Amino acid sequence: LVRVCLGLLVCECVRRFSGAVHEKFKSVAPQCSNIFLLLTATQFHTPFYASRSLPNVFALMGVLLAFTHWLHGRALACILLVAFHMVLFRCDLAVLLLPMVGVMLLAGEIKFVPSAIFGLITCVSALCLSVAVDSPFWGKLVWPEGYVLFFNTIENRSSEYGESPWHWYASSALPRALTFTFPLAV
């Protein structure tokens, strides 16, 4: 039941994003949202993982909703959603958030000071939520995503998860992830 609900939530987020893409680009590329849906449906990873309760799936939903808000002209809501999901589920969303904020600032969609204040409040709120919910499960006061970030970057211990050969992304991960669209990537 949980997986069915989660899969339906992911589908709803994809549907909303597709609708926003259609509204934004219908005059220049009327089939853009249909192509997006076709490419998403034919990939292995999105349909396969959509119903799994993994941090990546929760982050995916947040990012899809964030981009939906951005396409509807609500840049601050976009930033807050990405910031919230970054702190709660995937710290590496900072790699998405920072250039996104830069584009929004250059385009005049946001102002730096109010966005920084709301972003900081959002991050602190997400941090408090994560610590309050997750600490009892860990049996100690902890921010799990911060722990992972520290383990992987500061302590540089990510190799303890296992290592793959240097060509693994090009020879294995990308072909499996891109499935039918691999020729487009080339």
pLDDT digit string (tens) for the chain, length 186 residues: 999 999 999 999 999 999 999 999 999 999 999 999 988 888 878 888 999 999 999 999 999 999 999 999 999 999 999 999 999 999 999 999 999 999 999 999 999 999 999 999 999 999 999 999 999 999 999 999 999 999 999 999 999 988 999 999 888 888 887 777 777 777
Please name the residue that has the structure tokens 């958030």.
97
Residue 75 backbone zone (phi > 0: left; psi -120 to 50: alpha; other: beta): alpha
Q: How many whole angstroms separate alpha carbon 63 and alpha carbon 71?
A: 12
Please name the residue that has the structure tokens 């590496």.
92
Handedness of CA 104, 106, 112, 114 (dihedral sign): negative
